[in-house]
Amino acid sequence: DTCQNFHCKRGKVCHADKQGNPHCICQDPAACPPTKDYEHVCGTDNKTYDGTCQLFGTKCQLEGTKMGRQLHLDYMGSCKYIPPCTDYEVDQFPLRMRDWLKNILIQYYERDLNTSGILTEKQRNKVKKMYQNNKRLVAGDHPAELLLHDFEKNYHMYVYPVHWQFHQLDQHPGDRLLTHSELAPLRASLVPLEHCITRFFQECDGDRDKLIALKEWCHCFGIKE
């Protein structure tokens, strides 16, 4: 089977021609495997797709058209009304996001106490200091004033989580610039919970080049170094 180790990008599947040579062709959206309701996704055309297979198969079939260029994964879950983000809300967003990133790393560290594998040794050493700091906030919902006070008091604890998340996203390629597709995994999972994330990322792109540099990313989160 010449297609066995032949990889195609999302939305395409391998097909062998009469000579047995592998080629990538568009996935037929109707041939995608059935999905559960919780696997549904919303496209930027505000249409609910049964899953990412159906979405990217549809995008592939529209390749070369304006509609195809504009169609992306918007967020996980069925399409719903996403309220507009107010100026006040977008100002408060970095407070919650910084706290969330810090707590994710602490949870990873706690899991690694029993079974290693999520964090590297270098990452564990950095997070250990955060974990041992008794002044850290307990995970949960906190008023903005408390989050801001903790950020100012324990500033050093928030620097690494912000840098860590940037480098987790900066993979294809790792060039210290975040593209729309690199941001998509984080953004798509958070839109239903944090309706300000789209505007936040748009405003992070200070020079409007559709790329978020590390300096722009840190500036958005209030990190000075």
Range of the domain at 57: 12-76
Do 122 and 196 lie in a common domain? Answer: yes
**Residue 7: inside a domain:** no
**Residue 16: inside a domain:** yes
Run of H or E including 42: strand 41-43
* Residue tagged 């032949």 (tokens): 6
With a cut of 80, say whether residue 136 has pLDDT above it: no
For the whole model, what pTM was predicted?
Answer: 0.79
Residue 114: per-residue pLDDT = 73
Closest CA relative to residue 50, chosen from 68, 72, 25, 76: 76
Residue 118: per-residue pLDDT = 83
Residue 154: pLDDT band (50, 70, 90) is confident
Contact indicator for 51, 41 with CB cutoff of 8 Å: yes
- β-partners of residue 14 are 24
Q: What string of DSSP letters covers 89-127?
A: HHHHHHHHHHHHHHHHHHHHHHHHTTS--SS-HHHHHHH
Residue 143: per-residue pLDDT = 83
Residue 134: pLDDT band (50, 70, 90) is low
Encode pLDDT of 160-195 as tens digits. 999 999 999 998 888 999 998 899 889 999 998 899
Mean pLDDT computed over 124-144: 76
Question: What sign does the CA torsion over 77, 81, 86, 92 have?
Answer: negative
Report the side by side order of strands in the sheet with 41-43.
48-49, 41-43, 73-76
Residue 64: per-residue pLDDT = 93
Give the total number of structural domains in the chain: 2
Do 121 and 203 lie in a common domain? Answer: yes
81-95, 129-143, 172-186: the lowest-pLDDT one: 129-143
For residue 221, give the 3-state DSSP assignment.
coil
**Residue 93: inside a domain:** yes
Domain boundary among 41, 56, 76: 76
Q: Can the peptide bond before residue 161 be classed as cis, meaning omega within 30 degrees of 0?
A: no
Question: What sign does the CA torsion over 145, 150, 155, 160 have?
Answer: negative
Do 113 and 214 lie in a common domain? Answer: yes
Closest CA relative to residue 23, chosen from 39, 3, 1: 3
Surface-to-core class of residue 108, CB atoms within 10 Å of its CB (0-12 exposed, 13-18 middle, 19+ buried): middle
Look up residue 37 and give its DSSP letter.
G
Do 100 and 51 lie in a common domain? Answer: no
Residue 112: per-residue pLDDT = 84
Mean pLDDT computed over 122-131: 87
Do 193 and 141 lie in a common domain? Answer: yes
Do 107 and 210 lie in a common domain? Answer: yes
Encode pLDDT of 14-38 as tens digits. 999 888 899 999 999 999 999 999 8
Q: Which residues contact 7 (CB under 8 A, 6 or more apart)?
A: 14
Mean pLDDT computed over 126-149: 78
